A and B are shown apart, each in its own frame.
Chain A
Amino acid sequence: MDALTENWDLILSGFGWTLRLLGASAVIALVVGTIIAVFRVSPVPVLRSIAAVYVTLFRNSPLLVLMLITFFGLPQIGITFNNDIFIKTVVTMGLYTAAFVAESLRSGINGIPLGQAEAARSLGFGFGQTMTQVVLPQAFRNVVPPLASVLIALTKNTSIAMAFGSLELTFRSKQLLNEYATDRIIIFIAIATCYIVIVEVISFGAAMLERRWRVER
């Protein structure tokens, strides 16, 4: 137990690192992902294919390899992000996760039956009204659970940052596991619990949103 009582400040600062990485990457992922999703469902064929290529590329790339490119490859051509580890990490994770966000958003929008928009138009709704009153409210509701899983996956993916100089939870776990050979299992479970707390908060929030937006169909 000493390992935990003596080092709770290290674990706490690791928790903070993880939360900051998660928050910043999530913002980038949501913004870029929304733009890609809009491209993906736009009436312009070129934009649709750009978005499709983006999603295919990023979904099939290992995040760790993308991080290697950002940290070792890009500085060779002068793209250094001010040598800021945090920015490099967050940009890479954000762009990677954006592909998954875009896919969730797209399937949420495409999951709305065509008849909904047709019915709205036949009632005399304009485009704006059809979108804001009929299509988007249903699309948001469809999208909550998949977006929550994307965020949960992102939470776990932030652990990769430990290999690139971030002092987040997994880095701390490695450090403590080396220092306290006898308490390994306790350390592992304690730090796993930190992750589980984040995951549970996200899924609880998603469940709340879903319940609030639920309608009988």
Chain B
Amino acid sequence: MSTVLYDNPGPRARRVNRIVGLVAVLLLAVGLFWTIRLLSQNGQLEGDLWEPFVTPRYMELLWVALVETLKAAVFAIAGAVVFGVIFGVGKLSDHRWIRWPAWLVVEFFRAVPLLMLIIFIWTLYGLQLDKSFQSLVIGLILYNGSVLAEVFRAGINALPKGQAEAAYALGMRKYQVMTSVLLPQAVKIMLPSIISQCIVALKDTSLGYTILAPGLTTEMKSFWLTFQNQLPATLVLLMLYLVVNLCLEVLARWAEKKFSGGRKLNVTAVGVLGETEDEIAAGRVRATHANTGSSHGGT
């Protein structure tokens, strides 16, 4: 194994590395021991604090809440893909009066905190409890849709110019070029980014907690209010989110390998466009040798 940072270690370097590794393992072990001691000293390992999470009656409640959360994420992504296609294509339009509003909408929703957006939508609904789920989903659609619009635009721009030119030369219309030549090819490159965005959307469903939208996080609150098991409840909540997200990440990796040959779309952050816009427009897709995996840096 060789990197820019150091040569292959010789015998002395290997010895040093082994010692450093050993020290790190020791420190980890001490940390683990200390954590367990802290947990047991404060009575957090008592069975009745954890019992609700293995009791069928309560597990069913959790399952219902998990389904609610997944539902929010699925609705959000489905809506976001539609929103993203419309505004992504809008940003590529030849007409200024379509391109600019599309640009404005996309940039605005990417720059505004999602939580503030969700709360705003909920106040428009008059803070009604039964509208909190809709508010969450609409907020997620607007935010993730704007991110996906950027992904779609970059994906279409990443295709070789010849594709569109050939299609025009065959006498296709703009609409046909987009729907039967560009989009089908671009979807392949975009798939990993779309799956990464699913992870972001799923993570953001937890924001529903602040507007009492039905879902895992809100449900967990009633758990810890009932059983006074704040630490176990929040840890189980984290585990549930981690399991689902890690599954999605594996899926994203697989899609990246299978459909886009390890290439990754280079979607710049909000506002950072100015400089790199031309590069994206020129259809440059940065292939990251580092294979950083899916970069769901959104939130």
| Residues in chain A within 8 A of chain B (CB atoms) | 41, 43-47, 50, 56-57, 59-66, 68-69, 72-79, 100, 103-104, 106-107, 109-114, 116-117, 121, 127, 131, 135, 145-146, 148-150, 152-153, 155-160, 162-163, 169-170, 173-174, 177-178, 184, 188, 191-192, 195-196, 199-200, 202-204, 206-207, 210-211
Contact = CB atoms under 8 A, between A and B. Distances in A.
Given A153-B297, A158-B113, A163-B209, 6 more contacts: A43-B9, A66-B238, A73-B234, A77-B231, A178-B127, A188-B116
B297 A110 contact: no
Interface string B222-266: 001000001101110110011001100100000000000000000
Contacts of B241: 60-62, 65
Contacts of B242: 57, 60-61
A185 B220 CA distance: 33
Contact of A149 (B17, B249, B275, B297): B297
Interface of B: 2-7, 9, 13, 17, 20-22, 24-25, 28, 38-39, 41-42, 44, 108, 111-116, 119-120, 123-124, 127, 199, 203-207, 209-210, 217, 220, 224, 230-231, 233-235, 237-238, 241-242, 245-246, 249, 268-272, 274-276, 288-290, 292, 295-299
A148 B13 CA distance: 36
Contacts of B233: 73
B288 A170 contact: no
20 contacts: A56-B246, A60-B203, A60-B245, A61-B242, A64-B207, A64-B210, A64-B217, A68-B237, A77-B38, A77-B41, A103-B297, A104-B297, A110-B3, A114-B2, A114-B4, A149-B269, A152-B271, A170-B115, A195-B112, A211-B275
A155 B204 CA distance: 15
Given A73-B234, A149-B268, A195-B111, A116 B4 contact: yes
B204 A150 contact: no
Contacts of A178: 123, 127
A48 to B, nearest CB: 10
Nearest to B224: A72
Contacts of B272: 145, 148-149, 152, 203, 206-207
A159 B113 contact: yes
B3 A156 contact: no
Contacts of B274: 203, 207
Interface centre among A104, A163, A169, A170, by most chain B C-beta atoms within 10 angstroms, is A170
A82 B242 CA distance: 29
B48 to A, nearest CB: 14
Contacts of B44: 76-77
A156 B290 contact: no
A46 B269 contact: no
Contacts of B204: 62
B120 A73 contact: no
A196 B112 contact: yes
B39 A43 contact: no
Which has the most chain A C-beta neighbours within 10 Å: B13, B124, B295, B299? B299
A68 B17 CA distance: 38
Nearest to B4: A117
A114 B3 contact: yes
A146 B288 contact: no
Nearest to B38: A77
Contacts of B295: 103
A163 to B, nearest CB: 5
A134 to B, nearest CB: 9
A157 B299 contact: yes
A181 to B, nearest CB: 8
Contact of B38 (A78, A104, A174): A78
Contacts of B2: 114
